[in-house]
């Protein structure tokens, strides 16, 4: 083996080792910055159940899955009195630490794959993008019970007005959610929120999940609709100056 070949081989070994070492691991998470016990426990359980060390190795529950025929499917629609492009821009450009925090849920941490970093509740992110993993604290039964979950934003399609969210592996549920925006005949926006879920428990999937899920997504879209209207009023105010 030539000296040059040996040098290159050593370089690649060291380079790959450094890249691996640089990846953010679960032990790097500042648990003190996450004010929710359920989410902290969820992170520990997720790492153990998924048998991974680095957050970058986390997969979605529907990874490589093309047939959702045996999933329970639910659909809700929302109407926003604003043009589609305005609604889309508001949803897309809102920081997930803010948009997903409302009376029913709090975004406790975001892992950004593209930057290999985490953002805690007080941090701000310049909009949503593919590869963001949101760790959520859900407030159920008027806040008497808290539940942790995590999902990844797997699609943000400007032309179609589509945001796809996949649950991560090693959680209670398998499945995904698809938010789709469409123009209405009167110039407003119709938002379709479709959910596909499977946990292996018929009662939970058929009755409990849709009941609590509807409350959670209602709170999310209600907040986003207020943000759309607030931004529209701000634009009008600025135009009048």
Average pLDDT over residues 64-90: 92
Residues 166-215 pLDDT 10s: 999 988 889 999 999 999 999 999 999 999 999 888 888 888 889 999 99
Report d(CA 175, CA 198) in Å as an integer: 6
DSSP, residue by residue, 205-220 = IIIIHHHHHHHHHHHH
The H or E element spanning position 234 is helix 209-240
Q: Considering the chain, what is the average pLDDT of its residues?
A: 88
- At 212 the pLDDT is 92
Report the Cα–Cα distance between both ends of the chain, in Å, rounded: 74
Residue 34: both structure tokens together: 């996450």
CA atoms within 13 A on the CB side of 98: 15
Domain boundaries, the chain: 26-240
Helix, coil or strand: residue 103: coil
**Beta-sheet pairing, 105-112 with 72-80:** unpaired
- For 88-120, how does the pLDDT look when each residue is reduced to its tens digit (9 = 90+)? 999 999 999 999 999 999 999 999 999 999 999
pLDDT in tens, 139-168: 998 878 999 999 999 999 999 999 999 999
Cα separation, 72 vs 198, whole angstroms: 6
Vertex 206: Cα angle to 78 and 65 (nearest 5): 80
CB atoms within 10 A of CB 4: 8
Q: State which fold the 26-240 domain adopts.
A: Alpha-D-Glucose-1,6-Bisphosphate; Chain A, domain 4 (3.30.530)
Could you report the per-residue pLDDT of 2-12, keeping only the tens digit for each? 545 555 454 44
What pLDDT was estimated at residue 207?
A: 87
């Amino acid at each position: 083996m030539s000296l040059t070949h040996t040098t290159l081989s050593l370089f690649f070994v060291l380079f790959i080792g450094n890249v691996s070492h640089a990846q953010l691991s679960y032990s790097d998470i500042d648990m003190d910055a996450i004010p929710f016990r359920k989410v902290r426990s969820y992170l520990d359980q997720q790492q153990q159940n998924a048998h991974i060390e680095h957050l970058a190795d986390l997969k979605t529950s529907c990874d490589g899955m093309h047939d959702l025929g045996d999933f329970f499917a639910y659909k809700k629609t929302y109407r926003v009195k604003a043009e589609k492009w305005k609604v889309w821009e508001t949803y897309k450009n809102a920081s997930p630490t803010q948009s997903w925090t409302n009376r029913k849920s709090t975004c406790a941490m975001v892992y950004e794959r593209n930057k290999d970093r985490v953002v805690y509740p007080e941090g701000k992110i310049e909009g949503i993008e593919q590869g963001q993993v949101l760790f959520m604290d859900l407030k159920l039964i008027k806040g008497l019970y808290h539940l942790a979950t995590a999902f990844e934003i797997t699609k943000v399609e400007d032309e179609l007005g589509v945001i796809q969210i996949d649950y991560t592996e090693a959680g209670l549920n398998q499945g995904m959610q698809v938010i789709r925006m469409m123009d209405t005949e009167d110039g407003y926006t119709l938002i379709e929120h479709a959910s596909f879920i499977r946990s292996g428990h018929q009662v939970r999937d058929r009755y409990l999940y849709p009941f609590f899920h509807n409350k959670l997504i209602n709170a999310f879209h209600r907040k986003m609709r207020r943000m759309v209207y607030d931004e529209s009023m701000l634009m009008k105010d600025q135009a009048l100056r």
